[in-house]
Amino acid sequence: MARKKVTPEEVVAEISKSMSEYAKVTLEQVEEICEYVGDEAKALAQSDSPRRTGKYKRGWTKKTEFSRHGVKVTVHNRRYRLTHLLEYGHKTGRKRQGKARTDAHAHIAYANDYAQQELERRIRKALGG
């Protein structure tokens, strides 16, 4: 039985085709993982938000942007002016119960750290590494 002789161009074309398919599948998996982890981060930030500020707690949203370079997920609050004040604490203009400083309620940093670690873990697992 005679073998068909394969040209270098055919080998390059086959490798290129395989790499394109792998890149497409990988991008789809990464997009799916980003969507899921973004939802988890939003829920985590929302659940850890101070209860007294109801509008703030309900104001968490997730925005996903797709481009040819990848995916970008942003979790933010519609009442963005309060995020820094609640996360790090602040001085108040009036003293209430003898306090001149409002205590910090760290809730964004935890959600951010969780999302970064979880995203890396899930992508590694999905890509077999």
Q: What is the pLDDT of residues 105-122, one digit of tens each?
A: 888 999 999 999 999 999
Q: Give the pLDDT confidence score for residue 113 in this predicted structure.
A: 94
Q: Which residue has the higher pLDDT, 76 or 3?
A: 76
Q: Which residue has the higher pLDDT, 52 or 7?
A: 7
Cite the DSSP H helix spans in 1-129: 8-48, 54-58, 80-88, 108-126
pLDDT at 85 over 90: no
- The residue count of the chain comes to 129
Q: What is the mean pLDDT of the chain?
A: 86
Q: Give the pLDDT confidence score for residue 12 in this predicted structure.
A: 93
| The model's pTM | 0.76
DSSP single-letter state for residue 79: S
- Report d(CA 120, CA 125) in Å as an integer: 9
Q: Which residue has the higher pLDDT, 50 or 11?
A: 11
pLDDT at 95 over 80: no
CA angle 115, 26, 123 (to 5 degrees): 25
- Report d(CA 117, CA 119) in Å as an integer: 6
SS3 state of residue 73? strand
